[in-house]
């Protein structure tokens, strides 16, 4: 806390100094009233909304107004020594000395400057280093999108709005709950190592998105990436994605997975401009998988039990009273005689209110942009929500032609409510999500408790246990959503200071940046007895958990940029950059239970902590990194462009032997359209080919790996806690290296009305990090090694076309597609690459296998259902029945001789790959992988008379597989869980031909991990359609605004897919080294209807 206060003190002092500089010339004096009128110089008509500002001798803006509907204005100026400046878009700016004049009637002459800007302005590519490159001279692979293209979307995080819009950037939400993180992959997965998300750079400096190493959430890295929520989408100007190795190499070891460069808005020279934006939306979930009602479920369970082991044994309703339906026992008769749709019961319509107010303006000397935003969101799952307050202040001050300062201050406060997750002392979670419980919950059970007279009470029905089990395996989902607490409160402040000095004006510029990042978060969860009904002596009752994390980082960057004007034919720019980062993290957690009351939700309250399941933990970590970059860009005759770079990195997470690394990059561009013989083709604006080569290093995400670390046991003996070594010393762990090659093509035709870009790339990762499990007798559970090689290769195509461009009608169309192939080339033979699964119901073999992709699925091939006894006879590869020594048919068996289950009519049929009559591990085959073959998006934009704008966008992911775990749990008919309506077509008698096996209670092998549950998740999503109307300026003036617009947006309106689950957009857990996307019934992405309003004053 002391450090936080220190940072805030320095921040406040600096801000006051800057404000003082800005306000120095703005001190109030006796005001002088100036009146007048502004008209068009040609037709003498009034100019509505023209800017009338007072400027001082340094061209700083003092005050300003806008002309009314008749062109009139009235302004109070502070000094007669200043000037009055008149300006409006499309007209030449004029300025007049005030002196003794008190009235100004001004005629503004029209200007063609707008056209000139369109032709002369050169878009640049911002790689975040401070040396922006003309886009047409870019030699590396990158994509840029303007945030204004996304402003109509309802997105609390900019990452969710980018889905499908940038080629090669695959973005999938971890869940549809408010505040959920995103899985972001640029050009596939580059490593087995857990984190695959890119580096985020905001206004030239890296933005910390890492999760503390001791905080192992179920979706750790995605949850950490939700920190993008700290950047309000309304504050963002543009986003550039750096994709190839030569582009990302400038950011060193932190950029191994690509870079997202975010540029925020800044003030411009103008009178103060106030902009208010409101977006309100209504959200609802897509239709869920249909489930059995109470009556259907009550018919299924007895049949399932009859088929169990031993077969023919009926369900004993004397012990299973939930199915007795006995009116003489009102407790069971009423509380277990309902038709409850549990998924519907925990689903609600969500809404979002997003308000943002910004102020910007300034003069030649000082400019400012400040914004304040507030978002409140109710999730579509009961008990979820988000409240976020964000503020930003960006200041620019020009001291002289050679010296300027910049200060950026961003603050975010958020409170995210989620459904309860059961945490242990170390931060691990061990409970199913609430929607998964709702899918499985017995539908004949009531939400609310009935009394003995059959009257429903307002109390939730939470029996301590029933035939389905007890907490945490099952509970009343509605009671859990209502009573249990799980929230995260986060505060983050990031002051960023910059000074720029022209050492040699126009040639040599020095820039220094320093950024402080103070990031604190607190997670609180509480589980009262009313949510589970468990006995008050259990540690699941009044279970309180608190986790505090305080992160501090200081990042600096010092640049020396050399940009001499050599000649018209030869250009050069050079950059020397030194970057440092020092990050510290402090964490502590406390878990207690059995407090005296549900009101006492803080674990520090008197409660029980002396238990192996309870207690406290703490952690501290610090990492440091140092990077140096030398980069040079050469241009010859506007045709031959070369960029050379060398990056050096040092990282404290390595031992002394391998702490330093050098990573070179080389890229070039040849502009064929610049050749003299091409000048006759006037319709060709640009025709270029690019090539690049680069090497990037990647550092481990855990500190102190080269030390032996020691920890305390969480239990005591004779009052003393033991100490043990918790990791193996790793002195020779070295950088994971990614070597990338890229070939690009750029075509611009017909006055930039057609833009075509294509990229072909291949990246090879060597010395991959991997943390395999090792035998426990070693005293350790795992260790991190450099183990192998992996390739990522593919191509990207983007096309932007303007087929219609008329005065009143403009039609644009954009399309992008990306293909990525991921292949593991080599793995060390000394590490275990399999989880050993696949031999039990519901499990798949997870395997890292050379020449197969990361994210591959292995299991049995499902062939349907044995319709009768003859169908269970084993056959050889020619289809002939196999007989035993006694000449009798051999029936198919499972896992002989260790299990030796004989398949029966109605059982699941799996392919006997080796035709030995036994289904076992030798029949497990490759089933597919979770990497999409193609990703991308497309859509048109139609603008009519500059007042109306209609845009639509579709995103897609094609040809990827995922495990439908929801289908596994809702079609296995193995226990007392509810099932989907698909089981109504189950096998019930010999001769039935169906794809659903028989109901079989607690026996059989009808739901082994197989191709039945590995499904194609390909989808085409109607992501957004927007209709915007820009209000006529004359009408806007009547309501006191300069301009205004209103728009209506529909998001995620339809998803076209053959996937049998609720939503195919599923991302793998970042902590899963096998990178398998598994559908676990998480909250799906919602359908949204948005109304937006923007007004400028």
Residue in the structure block whose two tokens are 């500059």 = 946
Answer whether residue 336 shows pLDDT above 70.
yes
Confidence label for 560 from pLDDT (cuts 50, 70 and 90): very high
Is residue 20 within 8 A of residue 41, CB to CB? The reply is no
Task: State residue 43's pLDDT score.
Answer: 74
Query: What digits encode the pLDDT tens for the residues 831-878?
Result: 777 877 778 999 999 888 899 998 899 999 999 999 999 999 999 999
Task: State residue 222's pLDDT score.
Answer: 42
Is residue 693 within 8 A of residue 246, CB to CB? The reply is yes
Confidence label for 224 from pLDDT (cuts 50, 70 and 90): very low
Contacts of 641 (CB under 8 A, 6+ apart): 137, 139, 633, 634, 635, 668, 669, 670, 671
Task: State residue 229's pLDDT score.
Answer: 53
Is residue 441 within 8 A of residue 447, CB to CB? The reply is no
Which residues are registered as beta bridge partners of 466? 469
Confidence label for 931 from pLDDT (cuts 50, 70 and 90): very high
Closest CA to 233 of 143, 130, 132, 355: 355
Q: pLDDT higher for 651 or 946?
A: 651
Task: State residue 113's pLDDT score.
Answer: 39
Distance CA 45, CA 43 (A): 6
* Residue 723 in tokens: 């100490």
Q: State the Cα angle at 634 between 629 and 638, rounded to 5°.
A: 145
Answer whether residue 582 shows pLDDT above 90.
yes
Pairing of strands 32-40, 103-108: parallel
Task: State residue 1056's pLDDT score.
Answer: 95
Distance CA 103, CA 800 (A): 50
Length of the chain: 1097
Cα within 13 Å of Cα(754), Cβ side: 7
Confidence label for 61 from pLDDT (cuts 50, 70 and 90): confident
* Residue 814 in tokens: 């954009």
Distance CA 132, CA 109 (A): 35
Closest CA to 259 of 200, 304, 175: 200
Is residue 559 within 8 A of residue 631, CB to CB? The reply is no
Q: State the Cα angle at 349 between 343 and 350, rounded to 5°.
A: 115
Distance CA 648, CA 626 (A): 8
Report the range of poorest mean pLDDT among 23-27, 401-405, 536-540, 706-710.
Answer: 23-27
Answer whether residue 49 shows pLDDT above 80.
no
Q: Phi, psi (5° rounding) for residue 587?
A: -140, 150
Q: pLDDT higher for 7 or 1076?
A: 1076
* Residue 763 in tokens: 């990246």
Pairing of strands 83-87, 809-827: unpaired
Distance CA 1025, CA 1051 (A): 7
Closest CA to 380 of 434, 337, 425: 434
Mean pLDDT, residues 109-134: 59
Task: State residue 1032's pLDDT score.
Answer: 86
User: Which superfamily is assigned to 31-117 in CATH?
Assistant: Carboxypeptidase-like, regulatory domain (2.60.40.1120)
Is residue 531 within 8 A of residue 540, CB to CB? The reply is no
User: What is the share, in percent, of the chain residues with pLDDT greater than 90?
Assistant: 54
Confidence label for 160 from pLDDT (cuts 50, 70 and 90): low
Confidence label for 1070 from pLDDT (cuts 50, 70 and 90): low
Contacts of 434 (CB under 8 A, 6+ apart): 346, 381, 383, 419, 420, 477, 480, 481
Closest CA to 638 of 124, 134, 116, 120: 134
Distance CA 852, CA 1049 (A): 42
Distance CA 628, CA 558 (A): 10
Which residues are registered as beta bridge partners of 586? 550, 620
Distance CA 193, CA 1023 (A): 31
Distance CA 915, CA 911 (A): 9
Answer whether residue 400 shows pLDDT above 50.
yes
Task: State residue 24's pLDDT score.
Answer: 41
Contacts of 867 (CB under 8 A, 6+ apart): 905, 987, 990, 991, 992, 993
* Residue 883 in tokens: 């007989």
User: What is the share, in percent, of the chain residues with pLDDT greater than 70?
Assistant: 91
Distance CA 871, CA 274 (A): 76
Report the range of poorest mean pLDDT among 685-699, 772-786, 1016-1030, 1031-1045.
Answer: 772-786
Task: State residue 492's pLDDT score.
Answer: 93
Confidence label for 769 from pLDDT (cuts 50, 70 and 90): confident
Distance CA 173, CA 163 (A): 9
* Residue 595 in tokens: 């407090």
Q: For residue 564, count CB atoms less than 10 angstroms from its CB and return exposed for 0-12, middle for 13-18, buried for 19 or more.
A: middle
Closest CA to 37 of 65, 17, 57, 14: 65
CA separation (Å) from 1055 to 671, 819, 1051? 42, 21, 11
Answer whether residue 527 shows pLDDT above 80.
yes
What is the DSSP-derived secondary structure letter of residue 479? H
Answer whether residue 1 shows pLDDT above 60.
no
Query: What digits encode the pLDDT tens for the residues 65-86?
Result: 878 777 888 898 888 889 999 9
Task: State residue 429's pLDDT score.
Answer: 59
Assign 723 to helix, strand or coil. Answer: strand
Residue 592 neighbours by CB distance under 10 Å: 25
Cα within 13 Å of Cα(302), Cβ side: 13
Residue in the structure block whose two tokens are 């309180």 = 544
DSSP labels, 977-1029: ---BGGGGG---STT---SS----TT-S-TTBSBTTTEEE--EEEEEEEEEEE
Task: State residue 156's pLDDT score.
Answer: 58
Q: Where are the beta strands (DSSP E) in 447-602?
A: 448-450, 456-460, 485-504, 508-527, 543-562, 570-592
What is the DSSP-derived secondary structure letter of residue 27? -
Confidence label for 427 from pLDDT (cuts 50, 70 and 90): low
Is residue 957 within 8 A of residue 1017, CB to CB? The reply is yes
Mean pLDDT, residues 534-543: 89
* Per-domain boundaries in the chain: 31-117
Answer whether the bond into residue 116 is a cis peptide, omega within 30°: no
What is the DSSP-derived secondary structure letter of residue 285? P
Confidence label for 426 from pLDDT (cuts 50, 70 and 90): low
Confidence label for 1020 from pLDDT (cuts 50, 70 and 90): very high
Task: State residue 155's pLDDT score.
Answer: 62
Report the range of poorest mean pLDDT among 111-115, 417-421, 936-940, 1053-1057.
Answer: 111-115
Indicate the pTM of the whole model: 0.84
Distance CA 496, CA 204 (A): 10
Contacts of 44 (CB under 8 A, 6+ apart): 107
Task: State residue 158's pLDDT score.
Answer: 66
Closest CA to 151 of 95, 262, 234: 234
Query: What digits encode the pLDDT tens for the residues 495-516?
Result: 999 999 999 988 899 999 999 9
Mean pLDDT, residues 602-624: 82
Report the range of poorest mean pLDDT among 191-200, 297-306, 478-487, 677-686.
Answer: 191-200
Confidence label for 380 from pLDDT (cuts 50, 70 and 90): very high
Answer whether residue 711 shows pLDDT above 80.
no
DSSP labels, 533-570: ---TTSTTTTEEEEEEEEEEEEEEEEEEEE-----SSE
Closest CA to 315 of 328, 297, 333, 329: 297
Confidence label for 473 from pLDDT (cuts 50, 70 and 90): confident
Query: What digits encode the pLDDT tens for the residues 166-218?
Result: 898 888 877 888 887 777 888 888 888 766 778 888 888 888 765 544 444 33
Report the range of poorest mean pLDDT among 154-158, 618-622, 843-847, 1062-1066.
Answer: 154-158
Contacts of 17 (CB under 8 A, 6+ apart): none
Confidence label for 231 from pLDDT (cuts 50, 70 and 90): confident
Task: State residue 889's pLDDT score.
Answer: 93
Query: What digits encode the pLDDT tens for the residues 875-897?
Result: 999 999 999 888 899 999 998 78
């Amino acid at each position: 806390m002391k450090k936080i206060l220190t940072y805030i003190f320095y921040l406040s002092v600096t801000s006051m100094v800057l404000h003082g500089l800005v306000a120095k010339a703005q001190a109030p004096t006796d005001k002088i009233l100036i009146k007048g009128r502004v008209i068009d110089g040609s037709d003498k008509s009034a100019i509505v909304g023209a800017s009338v500002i007072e400027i001082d001798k340094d061209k700083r803006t003092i005050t300003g107004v806008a002309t009314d509907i008749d062109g009139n204005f009235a302004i109070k100026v502070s000094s007669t020594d200043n000037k009055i400046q008149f300006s409006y878009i499309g007209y030449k700016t004029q300025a007049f000395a005030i002196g003794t004049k008190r009235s100004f009637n001004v005629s503004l002459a029209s200007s063609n400057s707008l056209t000139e800007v369109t032709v002369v302005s050169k878009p640049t590519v911002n790689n975040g280093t401070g040396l922006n490159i003309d886009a047409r001279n870019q030699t590396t692979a990158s994509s840029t999108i303007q945030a204004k293209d996304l402003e109509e979307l309802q997105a609390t995080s900019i990452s969710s709005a980018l889905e499908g819009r940038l080629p090669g950037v695959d973005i999938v939400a971890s869940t549809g709950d408010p505040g959920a993180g995103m899985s972001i992959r640029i050009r596939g997965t580059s490593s087995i190592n857990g984190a695959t998300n890119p580096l985020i750079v905001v206004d030239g400096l890296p933005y910390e998105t890492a999760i503390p190493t001791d905080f192992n959430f179920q979706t750790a890295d995605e949850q950490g990436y939700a920190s993008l929520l700290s950047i309000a989408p309304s504050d963002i100007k543009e986003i550039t994605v750096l994709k190839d190795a030569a582009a990302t190499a400038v950011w060193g070891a932190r950029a191994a997975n690509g870079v997202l460069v975010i540029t925020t808005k800044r003030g411009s020279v103008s009178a103060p401009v106030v902009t208010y934006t409101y977006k309100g939306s209504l959200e609802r979930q897509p239709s869920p998988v249909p489930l059995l009602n109470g009556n259907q479920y009550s018919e299924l369970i007895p049949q399932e039990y009859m088929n169990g082991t031993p077969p023919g044994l009926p369900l004993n309703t004397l012990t299973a009273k939930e199915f007795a339906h006995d009116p003489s026992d009102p407790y069971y008769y009423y509380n277990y005689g309902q038709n409850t749709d549990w998924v519907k019961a925990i689903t609600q319509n969500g809404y979002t209110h997003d308000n943002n107010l910004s102020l910007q303006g300034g003069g030649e000397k000082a400019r400012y942009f400040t914004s304040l935003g507030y978002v409140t969101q109710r999730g579509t799952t009961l008990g979820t929500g988000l409240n976020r307050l964000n503020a930003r202040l960006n200041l620019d001050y020009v001291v002289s032609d050679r010296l300027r300062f910049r200060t950026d201050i961003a603050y975010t406060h958020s409170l995210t409510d989620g459904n309860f997750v059961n945490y242990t002392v170390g931060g691990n979670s061990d409970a199913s999500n609430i929607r998964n419980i709702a899918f499985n919950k017995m539908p004949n059970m009531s939400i609310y408790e009935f009394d003995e007279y059959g009257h429903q009470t307002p109390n939730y029905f939470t029996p301590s246990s029933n035939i389905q089990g007890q907490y945490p395996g099952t509970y009343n989902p509605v009671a859990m959503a209502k009573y249990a607490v799980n929230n995260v409160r986060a505060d983050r402040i990031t002051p960023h200071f910059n000074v720029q000095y022209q050492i040699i004006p126009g040639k040599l510029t020095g820039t220094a940046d320093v950024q402080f990042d103070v990031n604190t978060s607190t997670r609180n969860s509480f589980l009262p007895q009313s949510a589970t009904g468990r006995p008050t002596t259990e540690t699941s009752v009044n279970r309180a958990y608190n986790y505090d994390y305080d992160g501090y980082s200081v990042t600096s960057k010092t640049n020396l940029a050399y940009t001499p004007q050599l000649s018209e034919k030869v250009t050069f720019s050079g950059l020397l950059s030194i970057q440092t980062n020092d990050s510290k993290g402090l964490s502590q957690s406390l878990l207690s239970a059995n407090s005296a009351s549900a009101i006492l939700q803080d674990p520090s309250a008197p409660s029980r902590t002396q238990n192996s399941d309870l207690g406290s933990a703490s952690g501290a970590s610090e990492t440091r990194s140092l990077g140096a970059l030398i980069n040079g860009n050469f241009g010859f005759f506007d045709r031959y462009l070369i960029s050379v770079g060398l990056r050096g990195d040092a990282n404290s997470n390595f031992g002394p032997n391998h702490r330093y690394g050098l990573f070179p990059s080389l890229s070039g561009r040849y502009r064929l359209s610049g050749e003299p013989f091409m000048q006759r083709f006037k319709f060709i604006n640009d025709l270029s080919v690019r090539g690049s080569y680069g090497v990037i290093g990647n550092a481990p995400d855990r500190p102190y790996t080269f030390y032996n670390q020691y920890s305390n046991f969480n239990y005591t003996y004779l009052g003393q806690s033991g100490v043990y070594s918790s990791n193996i010393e790793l002195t020779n762990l070295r950088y994971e290296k990614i070597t990338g090659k890229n070939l690009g093509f750029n075509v611009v035709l017909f006055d930039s009305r057609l833009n075509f870009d294509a990229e072909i790339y291949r990246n090879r990762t060597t010395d991959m990090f991997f943390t395999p499990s090792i035998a426990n007798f070693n005293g350790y559970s795992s260790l991190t090694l450099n183990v192998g090689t992996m390739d990522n290769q593919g191509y990207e195509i983007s096309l932007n076309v303007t087929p219609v461009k008329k005065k009143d009608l403009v039609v644009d169309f954009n399309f992008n597609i990306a293909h990525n192939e991921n292949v593991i080339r080599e793995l060390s033979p000394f590490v275990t690459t399999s989880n050993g699964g696949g031999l039990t119901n519901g499990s798949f073999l997870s395997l890292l296998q050379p020449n197969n992709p990361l994210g591959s699925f292995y299991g049995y091939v499902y062939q349907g259902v044995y319709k009768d006894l003859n169908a269970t006879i084993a056959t050889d590869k020619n289809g002939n029945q196999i007989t035993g020594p006694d000449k009798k048919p051999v029936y198919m068996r499972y896992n002989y001789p260790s299990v030796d289950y004989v398949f029966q009519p109605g059982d699941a049929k799996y392919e006997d790959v080796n035709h030995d009559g036994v289904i076992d591990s030798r029949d497990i085959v490759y089933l597919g992988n979770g990497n999409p073959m193609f990703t991308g998006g497309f859509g048109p934009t139609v603008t009519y008379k500059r007042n109306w704008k209609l845009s639509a966008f579709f995103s897609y992911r094609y040809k990827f597989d995922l495990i439908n775990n929801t289908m596994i749990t809702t079609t296995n008919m193995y226990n007392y869980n509810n099932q989907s309506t698909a089981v109504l077509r189950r096998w019930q008698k010999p001769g039935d031909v169906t794809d659903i096996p028989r109901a079989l209670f607690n026996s059989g092998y009808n739901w082994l991990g197989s191709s039945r549950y590995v499904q194609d998740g390909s989808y085409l999503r109607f992501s957004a359609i927007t209709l915007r109307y820009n209000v006529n300026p004359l009408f806007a003036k009547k309501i006191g605004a300069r301009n205004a617009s209103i728009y209506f947006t529909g998001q995620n309106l339809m998803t076209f897919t053959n996937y049998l689950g609720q939503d195919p957009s599923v991302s793998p857990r970042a902590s899963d080294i096998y990178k398998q996307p598994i559908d676990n019934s998480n909250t799906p992405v919602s359908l949204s209807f948005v109304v937006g309003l923007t007004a400028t004053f």
